[in-house]
Amino acid sequence: MDNSGLPGSVTQELLSGWARTSPSSATVWAPDSSDSIRKHLGDDYPRGIVARGLGRSYGDAAQNAGGHVIDSTANSEILNLDVDRGVVTCEAGVSLATLMQVLVPMGWFPTVIPGTRFVTVGGAIASDIHGKFRHGSFCDYVEQATLTCPTGESFAIGPNETGRSLDAYWATAGGMGLTGVVTEATLRLHEIESAWMLVDTERCNDLDECMARMLDSDDVFRYSVAWIDTMATGASLGRSILERGNHAPRASLDTKHAKLANDYSPRFSIEAPSWFPNKLINKLSVKAFNELWFRKAPKSSKEHIASIVSFFHPLDAVLGWNRIYGSRGFLQYQFVVPYGAESVVRTALERLAALGAPSFLAVLKRFETSNPGLLSFPMPGWTLAVDVPCGISGLAELLDGLDDLVIEAGGRVYLAKDSRLDRSRIEAMYPRINEWRAIQESLDPHGTMQSDLDRRLGLKENSH
């Protein structure tokens, strides 16, 4: 096919998600401007097109085998910053890392940030990402966005719009990039007094204790997360470290930190080597690491001052940490279940421990709200995220079994993390998917928006 008409660079690349599984090849187009996306999204792409940001979704959401992929990081300008109102307008390829670098010294913070700052605004909208903040996900704090559709149309969408623009917004929020391409967005920011966090850390001896403490006292913290040692079994199942924090008010800072009150300067300490043996992450190595991590945390520590990076993004310090799992890659299983279904979290931890799946990162968080996003993940309840190396036998069947428990409890798995869900379970997890399909089809009547995730899960009707 002839790609010579596309303005900007065009290359053939093998793409995979953050977990490095199921790579596929696509024609990657880095448009010379957002305007070019508007002009060319309606072109004929025999195997479709999808936008990709920084490639942090774990599975195949930003891949399009044999088709086209837009490298949206090519368009990453901050267009307008209204310091009085606390809103920023930027191109969709801007990363939260860039936004934070600009905003934090000025006393503003993105309202919702995930566990890595290397995500683009466009990707954050497409996945309706969430983080340690419990009161809503990314798309709850978008004031307006510009959506370009394959029909060539480009229009404002947002939660305050009406009619088609409103429908298109809630189909795009969490819509995994299949409604078109968001080229610009205006975000509502959170005002902060300093670039520091006041963090409370506590050890919890088991899952019940951890959940009880979160329910009891989360409300005095803006952010909360529990790190669970998945290798602990029996009576100490769910042994965890609870980390909760707030932005530090200026008055709370000692002189040393007050001097650097607005200093936000993330540094990279290490880069993971490019090659790791496949068996590096095993039961023994993880058990040792988890034990160390648990012992290192204070039994209880109140209001210690931490940097934004160390609180929100400890893993970003090791660039390319996804490579430690070796060539076979890994996956992250993340689900949410409503309050009352705590037993599903327990069962998931029990079964993963019984299988001997080594996992450093089991993260338990809570949501207080959901939004009208038709494919949005968050709902009031518990969300557990577990990283597991792929090579473990019996893993596929175990996760299928957990899917059934999650569905029974009225929960769902997170599409931005998924790389293995069976398509037969999508409708039970996302009961409003038919409404989404109708809107998606009206925005993309010829089926131009395509991705490997969609091919695998059949999110769109009649998709192949």
Residue numbers of the site for another protein (CB under 8 A)? 12, 14, 19, 21-26, 47, 59-60, 64-67, 327-329, 331, 390-391, 395-396, 399, 419-422, 452, 455-456, 464
The radius of gyration of the chain from alpha carbons, rounded to an integer in Å, stands at 21
Residue 107 backbone phi and psi in degrees, to 5 = 85, 25
CB of 388 to another protein, least distance (A): 10
Closer of 41 and 390 to another protein (Cβ): 390
Closer of 178 and 443 to another protein (Cβ): 178
Closer of 47 and 188 to another protein (Cβ): 47
Q: Using alpha carbons only, give the angle 220, 383, 241 rounded to the nearest 5 degrees.
A: 60
Helices (H) and strands (E) in the chain, counts: 13, 20
CB of 50 to another protein, least distance (A): 13
Closer of 7 and 23 to another protein (Cβ): 23
CA 45 vs CA 10, 40, 251: distances in Å: 14, 10, 57
CB of 117 to another protein, least distance (A): 25
Residue whose structure tokens are 């968080």? 365
Using alpha carbons, select from 127, 102, 108 the residue that is nearest to residue 182.
127
H/E run at residue 145:
strand 142-148
Residue 230 backbone phi and psi in degrees, to 5 = -75, -10
Closer of 36 and 463 to another protein (Cβ): 463
Q: How far apart are CA 408 and CA 418, in angstroms?
A: 19
Contacts of 358 (CB under 8 A, 6+ apart): 230, 231, 281, 282, 283, 285, 286, 287, 388, 389
Contact of 73 with 120, CB cutoff 8 Å: yes
Closer of 405 and 453 to another protein (Cβ): 453
Closer of 12 and 269 to another protein (Cβ): 12
CB of 449 to another protein, least distance (A): 16
CB of 24 to another protein, least distance (A): 4
CB of 407 to another protein, least distance (A): 17
Q: How far apart are CA 449 and CA 441, in angstroms?
A: 10
CB of 452 to another protein, least distance (A): 5
